[in-house]
Amino acid sequence: MDKYLNFSLEGKVALVTGAAYGIGFAMAEALAEAGAKIAFNCRGEHHLEQALADYKAKGIEARGYICDVTKEDQVKAMVADIEQNLGTIDILVNNAGIIKRIPMHEMALEEFQQVIDIDLVAPFIVSKAVIPGMIKKGHGKIINICSMMSELGRETVSAYAAAKGGLKMLTRNICSEYGEYNIQCNGIGPGYIATPQTAPLREPQADGSRHPFDTFICAKTPAGRWLLPEELKGPAVFLASDASNAVNGHILYVDGGILAYIGKQPK
């Protein structure tokens, strides 16, 4: 087993943004299982309370914060409190994100801006807050949660695709600018994962039939199914650990093969 010690996160401090539930919760759980001390944030007080109970139920003493990642002052205060109580942040997962599914010509500027602020500007804000500590410590891991929409477009998700495409390039630029400080910045690009964010795409129709998007995305996924948040646990530990010290600027697509597949031929 000694061969695989470099997957261990013992003694590390990890901040996972937006990890009250969904993909962020699953990745934070994995980082804790690998030995890291966990800090997370969300916006909703009720989400925070429930998340703390959920982490505790899994034996994880997570440190939770109400912090809007688009507000630099709140982020700075959260990072300072983490550094004071847990130590310098070794691992940052920029996971917090939203989507608005609106035809672009009907989308209000404020709606477009809100998606860009949370999905692209906030990873800049949080990364900027943690990088000085990582430089001082001599190492760091930043993992940006990208998307199929970092590579592909589709109707109604213009703001989201613009943000996630930008996040792919922000990932590559942090890699370029901070690699010399032994900071690796990579992305995880999940496929279609069953979480609250995609619940509207899976809801059965009024007549009880499958949501057309549910049928569509299963035909676009070689395994013919939605992926699960737990299937992101291993990739997150890998990119957070010393096992990936030579991996930098890479977007690891955990998509079940969607990007490689033209789609199942209709019968």
Residue positions annotated with a catalytic role: 160
Question: Does 115 contact ligand GCO by CB under 6 A?
Answer: no
Q: Name which position in 96, 120, 159, 237 contacts ligand NAP (CB under 6 A).
A: 96
Interaxial angle between packed helices 233-240 and 22-33, expressed in degrees from 0 to 180 and rounded to the nearest 10: 60
Q: How far is CA 2 from CA 6, 210, 236, in A?
A: 9, 48, 20
Q: Which is nearer to ligand NAP, 23 or 60 (CB)?
A: 23
Our CA angle for 232, 233, 239, nearest 5°, is: 90
Q: Name which position in 151, 198, 219, 261 contacts ligand GCO (CB under 6 A).
A: 198
264 binds, among ligand NAP, ligand GCO, none (CB under 5 to 8 A by kind): none
Question: Does 147 contact ligand GCO by CB under 6 A?
Answer: yes
Q: Maximum Cα–Cα distance for the chain, whole Å? A: 60
Question: Does 256 contact ligand GCO by CB under 6 A?
Answer: no
Question: Does 21 contact ligand NAP by CB under 6 A?
Answer: yes
Question: Does 50 contact ligand NAP by CB under 6 A?
Answer: no
Number of residues that bind ligand NAP (CB under 6 A): 29
**Nearest distance from C-beta of residue 85 to ligand GCO, angstroms:** 33
DSSP 3-state of 94: strand
Q: Name which position in 39, 63, 70, 159 contacts ligand NAP (CB under 6 A).
A: 70
Q: How far is CA 187 from CA 52, 71, 138, 169, 204, in A?
A: 26, 23, 21, 10, 32
Task: Please choose, out of 65-73, 176-184, 216-224, 235-243, the segment that lies near ligand NAP by the rule CB under 6 A.
Answer: 65-73
Q: Which is nearer to ligand GCO, 149 or 239 (CB)?
A: 149
Q: Name which position in 33, 181, 197, 218 contacts ligand GCO (CB under 6 A).
A: 197
Tell me if 183 sits within 8 A of 122, measured CB to CB.
no
Give all strands of the β-sheet with 13-17 in edge-to-edge order: 63-66, 37-42, 13-17, 91-94, 140-145, 183-190, 251-254
DSSP 3-state of 42: strand
Our CA angle for 222, 226, 229, nearest 5°, is: 120
Residue 149 main-chain phi, psi, to 5 deg: -80, 5
Binding site for ligand GCO (CB under 6 A): 99, 101, 147-149, 154, 157, 160, 190-192, 197-198, 201
Can you give the binding site for ligand NAP, defined by CB under 6 A? 17-18, 20-24, 41-44, 47, 68-70, 95-98, 118, 145, 147, 190, 192-193, 195-198
